[in-house]
Chain A
Amino acid sequence: MTQGISMMIRSSIGRKWIAAITGLLMIGFVVVHMLGNLQMFAGTPDKINQYAHLLKSMPGVLWAFRLGLIAATGLHIWATLSLARENRMAKPQGYAVAGRKSRLQVTLTSATMVISGSIILGFVIFHLLHFTVQMVDRSYLSMQTVSGGVTMPDVYRMVITGFSNPWISGFYLLAMALLFSHLRHGAASVFQTLGVRDRHLAKIIGTGAWILAVALFLGFAAIPIAVLTGALRP
């Protein structure tokens, strides 16, 4: 038992499995999160407010998911950064003349996983302080609404207020662009790491990862863009 786990933690392939499984869990989360957010477009603020209220009414479930996600994120960062550190040490010197990118199959998204991931992490922390802890703008704490006879936080108004600030919208859009970049490579990588990619599946997996990454970007970006253009208003 302990031997298997210690090998998993120490070995290259074991840590790649940890990165892939935690990456997959985070992909599951961002997909559900995006679908939930799209309720902003339901035509009435009640929809997203009641959804948020429903989640908050189950603190046990909510915290189980939160702790699971925190653990997955922590493991993902630990695994990927420890692999990346070894990768740098394994290649102390590059070539004086760089080979043609087309020949060596290097893509920008695959070569910038640590940068895209780190900025996403920075964004996630800001995002939590902004909407969950509500430390960025204290006025959110008093935004309340009554829906179906119940008083609840007015999430709809918080989102509109937040994204009316072009700096906040801009950072959010940048982070979503980097999430696209991270997942364009990452979502396809998962299949290779978990051993289900081959020559025949490679095209489908690559295209699927691209579609997922684009769909996530468009789904998340729609809200700040709608707020900035006035399509979504209080």
Chain B
Amino acid sequence: MKLHLRVWRQKSKESGGHFETYEAEGLNPNMSFLEMLDVVNDRLTQEGKEPIAFDHDCREGICGSCAMAINGEPHGPNKGATTCQVYLRSFKDGETLTVEPWRAKAFPVLKDLVTDRSAFDRIIQAGGFVSVNTGQAPDANAMPIGKEEAEKAFDAAHCIGCGACVAACRNGSAMLFAAAKVSHLGLLPQGQPERAERVRKMVEAMDAAGFGNCSNQYACEAVCPKEISADWIARMNRDYALSLAQKL
């Protein structure tokens, strides 16, 4: 099969960018989207041109690197899948695809499809951890956690920090990401001592990084490859208010 690509090319953070068109031909429908980009890049390299820069690592949907929007949809057209898990059979033969980097103030484009997502790291550094004294690893099941609580915490912990939620949001809001991280730790006994402080600090870091504010439209949840629920945002709103109430 073949695809007609319009890809965002940008030299550096400072330079402007533009679309370039590429014909990708002789493709196998069972190739992944990233493999298709590899084929295009091979050709560009052979022609002595600069290959398209894009982030990728695991290529199995667990690292969250492969950030790009396909036809304005972060991670492409499929529900619950990262770009690396999107296969060409999801598209029509001869289809035109516009490929762009995440668009958000807090995620500046570094090169082509690569964005700087360190703003997420700053949110995690502000409180996305539990403080423990080092020592031996604790015995398994030394701290009993109910099955239901464990499952809920695990649902929130599924977030891979890809940033698609921010990319899809018309406000560039990171509330789904922050809520997943706040809730994952806040549901477990290990997270309780720092719970109130954690949500305050993480929200503060999120605001400082220049993300927008949730307006309850849930584009984030629709594109999230891990199907993180917007319910977590409601939970974070609650947790935050309880935390502020302690300061009143």
A residues lining the B interface (CB < 8 Å)? 1, 3-5, 7-8, 10-17, 83, 86-100, 103-107, 110-111, 113, 185, 188-189, 191-199
Q: Which residues of A contact B248 (CB under 8 A)?
A: 1, 4-5
* Shortest distance between the CB of B217 and any CB in chain A (Å): 5
Most B C-beta atoms less than 10 A away, residue of A5, A89, A104: A104
Task: State whether A94 touches B173 (Cβ < 8 A).
Answer: no
Task: Find the A residue at minimum CB distance from B103.
Answer: A93
On chain A, the residues within 8 Å of B33 by CB distance are none
Instruction: List chain B residues, Cβ under 8 A from A104.
Output: 73, 168, 219, 222-223
Binding site for A on B (CB under 8 A): 6, 19, 69, 71-74, 77, 98, 100, 103-106, 168-173, 175, 200, 203-204, 206-207, 210-219, 221-223, 229-231, 233-241, 244-248
Contact between A89 and B73, CB atoms less than 8 A apart: no
* Alpha-carbon distance A186/B72, docked complex (angstroms): 26
Which 3 residue pairs spanning A and B have beta carbons closest together?
A: A195-B238, A90-B212, A4-B247
Q: Which residues of A contact B222 (CB under 8 A)?
A: 103-105
Which A residues touch B247, using CB under 8 A?
1, 3-4, 7
Contacts A8-B244, A100-B72 aside, 19 further interface pairs with beta carbons under 8 A come to A12-B203, A83-B213, A87-B173, A90-B104, A90-B172, A91-B103, A91-B172, A94-B103, A95-B69, A95-B98, A99-B69, A99-B74, A104-B222, A105-B221, A111-B217, A193-B237, A194-B238, A194-B241, A195-B241
Query: CB within 8 A of A4: which of B203, B230, B244?
Result: B244
Q: In the bound complex, do residue B219 and residue A7 qualify as a contact, i.e. CB atoms below 8 Å apart?
A: no
Contacts of B246 in A (CB 8 A): 4
Q: Which of B206, B222, B234 has the most CB of A within 10 A?
A: B234
A205 to B1: give the CA distance in the assembly, Å.
46
Task: Give the contacting residue for A107; candidates B217, B229, B230; CB below 8 A.
Answer: B217
Chain A residues lying within 8 Å of B170, measured Cβ to Cβ, are 87, 91, 94, 106, 111
Residue of B nearest to A191 (CB): B234
Complex: A83 Cα to B244 Cα, angstroms? 19
Q: Once the chains bind, are A103 and B240 in contact (CB under 8 Å)?
A: no
Could you tell me if B219 and A195 are in contact, using CB atoms closer than 8 angstroms?
A: no
With contacts A4-B247, A11-B203, A12-B206 taken as known, whether A110 is within 8 angstroms of B171 at the C-beta atoms is no
A199 touches B216 (CB 8 A): no
With beta carbons under 8 angstroms apart, the residue of B98, B203, B217 that contacts A106 is B217
Complex CA gap A107/B71 in Å reads 19
B244 touches A192 (CB 8 A): no
Return chain A residues, CB-CB under 8 Å to B213: 12, 15-16, 83, 86-87
Q: Which residues of B contact A191 (CB under 8 A)?
A: 234
Complex contact B216–A193 (CB within 8 A): yes
The answer to whether A192 touches B245 (Cβ under 8 A) is: no
Q: Which residues of B contact A12 (CB under 8 A)?
A: 173, 175, 203, 206-207, 213-214
**Bound CA–CA A219/B194 (angstroms):** 49
B233: chain A residues within 8 A (beta carbon): 192
Which residue of the partner chain, among A1, A8, A90, contacts B106 with CB atoms under 8 Å?
A90
State whether A11 and B69 are in contact (beta carbons under 8 Å apart), knowing that A105-B217, A192-B216 are contacts in the complex: no
Question: How far, in whole Å, are A159 and B101 apart by their CA atoms in the complex?
Answer: 56
- A–B complex contacts, Cβ < 8 Å, 28 sampled: A4-B248, A7-B200, A11-B204, A12-B207, A12-B213, A13-B241, A16-B213, A90-B104, A90-B106, A91-B103, A91-B105, A94-B170, A96-B6, A97-B72, A99-B74, A103-B222, A105-B217, A105-B218, A106-B170, A106-B219, A107-B217, A110-B216, A111-B170, A185-B216, A188-B216, A192-B237, A193-B216, A194-B238
Known A113-B215, A195-B234; contact A100-B73, beta-carbon cutoff 8 A = yes
Contacts of B241 in A (CB 8 A): 13, 17, 194-195
- Taking a contact as CB atoms under 8 Å apart, the answer to whether A194 and B237 are in contact is yes
Are B103 and A199 within 8 A (Cβ)? no
Whole-angstrom CA separation of A8 from B207 in the bound complex:
12
Chain B residue contacts of A185, Cβ below 8 A:
216
Compute how far the CA of A4 lies from the CA of B243 in the bound complex, rounded to whole angstroms: 9
Is the pair A90, B171 in contact by a Cβ cutoff of 8 Å?
yes
Determine whether the beta carbon of A99 is less than 8 Å from that of B73: yes
| Shortest Cβ distance from A107 into B: residue | B217
Which of these, A91, A95, A103, A189, contacts B77 with CB under 8 Å? A103
Taking a contact as CB atoms under 8 Å apart, the answer to whether A96 and B19 are in contact is: yes
CA distance A46 to B35 in the complex (A): 78
